[in-house]
Amino acid sequence: MSPSAPEPTAPLSATELLQRLIRFNTVNPPGDEREAQEFLAGLLEEAGFEVSLVGRLPERPNLVAELRAPEGSPEGPVLGLLSHMDTVLAAAEDWEHDPWSGDVEGGEIWGRGAIDMKSQTAAEATAAMDLARSGWRPSRGSLKVIVVVDEEVGGAEGAVWLCENEPDLARCDLMLNEGGGAPLVFRGQRHYGVCVGEKGPLRFGLKASGVAAHAATPGLGDNALTRLAPLITRLAEAELPFDVDPAIREMLIGLGLDGDHPERAYARLREEDPALSAAIEPMGRITFSPNIVSAGDKINVIPDRAELRVDCRVPPNLTTAEAKERILAALAPLPDGVEVEWGMEVPGNSSPAQGELFDALQEWLGDNVPGAGIVPTFLPGFTDSRTWREAFPDLVAYGFFPHRNLELREQAGRMHAKNERIDVEDLDFATTCFSDVTRRILG
């Protein structure tokens, strides 16, 4: 479904731009982001940006729009405002509004991508275009608006392709992306999380072998599936130790908990706010989720092969080798006939929770949400920030999209879910943040 309204003759508000972007169906796969990217590219170019659309596939271009300081200006950082245009699937029959309607009802904008993450695309692009139209230019460095494709299935055509094939376009010194900013409230105090790092997936399979036989005579066979049963329970009940990175220690301290004793801190958090604990406790240790079991395909045959596939996430402060050692210890002893097969391995990654970008966010929050705290956080999942951190080791990348009304627990529940929607006030709040922080960084 493509937008049917005529092309705008006046600058769009963030709400209007988000509505337009939602109306492009960019479900990935297949993505087909070109029409949406060309629409946004036209707006940015009209506002004064130098715009490039590049990609391996013609129907899936990545967008990079840049606004540089005037020639002869002092050297300065390149600030990147990153987002992705693709979304996950939506089943329209399950929604109260058409997922590609962009309807506004009850002060909220409805549609697939309203949280993840066309809202941030709209807020970042609107902030950048409003600055450019006002005559503002960086007094040093440059501003880049980067909108990639393919994030929802790993970024091969988006972040990975762009950083590998167009490094000059992709290169930034500082970056804001998805992953943080929804406030969390604890003990009556509001805190804003700046996502400074992400856990890495370390997925693995447990493969069991046995002996096939007729199901009517189970004693003549050796059921491979039953070998996995104790391992599923073991994984579900495993509690690996906390390895608290300095950033997570600062988060716990910021919440008024004992950052030097994480077991004690999280036990207190579970007592006082179990829902909040469930959201942030995974940041500090390896987690398991045994998700897929496959075995025989005939009800009357004892399976001689079975496999359990496990999603595992590892914090940035652990190496892959250390993580594997702990995983094997948690599984031990492996039953006879069961072996581990390692799958996707992406190390956890992070940026320092300090410096000019962190300071700019802290100052902005102090001006706009008096009394609120700011704490570094890790994302239990991962985003395109990991690709930029790997490609440009000196880059500082944070996840931040501040909300005024929607808190972390509710925001997380709307992501990838039916009836995805965002508060109009929150969208405007974030737009103001990106505009103000850009001025603070680039002058």
pLDDT per residue rounded down to tens, the chain (443 residues): 344 444 555 799 999 999 999 999 999 999 999 999 999 999 999 999 999 999 999 999 999 999 999 999 999 999 999 999 999 999 999 999 999 999 999 999 999 999 999 999 999 999 999 999 999 999 999 999 999 999 999 999 999 999 999 999 999 999 999 999 999 999 999 999 999 999 999 999 999 999 999 999 999 999 999 999 999 999 988 888 988 789 999 999 999 999 999 999 999 999 999 988 988 889 989 999 999 999 999 999 999 999 999 999 999 989 999 999 999 999 999 999 999 999 999 899 999 999 999 999 999 999 999 999 999 999 988 899 999 999 999 999 999 999 999 887 778 778 889 999 999 999 999 999 999 999 999 99
Q: Which two tokens stand for residue 314?
A: 């590892």
pLDDT of amino acid 4: 42
pLDDT of amino acid 6: 43
pLDDT of amino acid 116: 95
Is the preceding peptide bond at 99 cis, omega within 30 degrees of 0? no
Provide the b/e sequence for 89-113 (b: ≥16 CB within 10 Å): ebeeeebebbbbbbbbeeebbbbbb
pLDDT of amino acid 9: 57
Look up tokens 């089943």; give the residue: 91
Residue 262 CA to residue 416 CA, distance in Å, equals: 31
User: In the CATH scheme, what architecture does the domain 197-345 have?
Assistant: 2-Layer Sandwich (3.30)
What CATH class does 14-186+349-442 carry?
A: alpha beta
Look up tokens 């599984």; give the residue: 331
Query: Contact, 378 vs 180, CB < 8 A?
Result: no
Q: How far is CA 132 from CA 21, 40, 43, 60, in A?
A: 21, 15, 11, 27
Residues of the chain with CATH 3.30.70.360: 197-345
pLDDT of amino acid 70: 95
pLDDT of amino acid 430: 98
Bridge partner residues of 389 (DSSP): none
pLDDT of amino acid 7: 53
What is this structure's pTM?
A: 0.91
Which residues are CB-neighbours of 293 under 8 A, at least 6 positions away? 225, 228, 232, 306, 307, 308, 309
pLDDT of amino acid 342: 97
User: What's the per-residue H, E or C state across the chain?
Assistant: CCCCCCCCCCCCCHHHHHHHHHCCCCECCCCCCHHHHHHHHHHHHHHCCEEEEECCCCCCCEEEEEEECCCCCCCCCEEEEEEECCECCCCHHHCCCCCCCCCEECCEEECCCCCCCHHHHHHHHHHHHHHHHCCCCCCCCEEEEEEECCHHHCCCCCHHHHHHHCHHHHCCCEEEECCCCCEEEECCEEEEEEEEEECEEEEEEEEEECECEECCCHHHCECHHHHHHHHHHHHHHCCCCCCCCHHHHHHHHHCCCCCCCHHHHHHHHHHHCHHHHHHHHHHHCCEEEEEEEECCCCCCEECCEEEEEEEEEECCCCCHHHHHHHHHHHHCCCCCCEEEEEEEECCCEECCCCCHHHHHHHHHHHHHCCCCEEEEEEECCCCCHHHHHHHCCCCEEEECCCCCCCCHHHHHHHCCCCCCEEEHHHHHHHHHHHHHHHHHHHC
Residues of the chain with CATH 3.40.630.10: 14-186+349-442
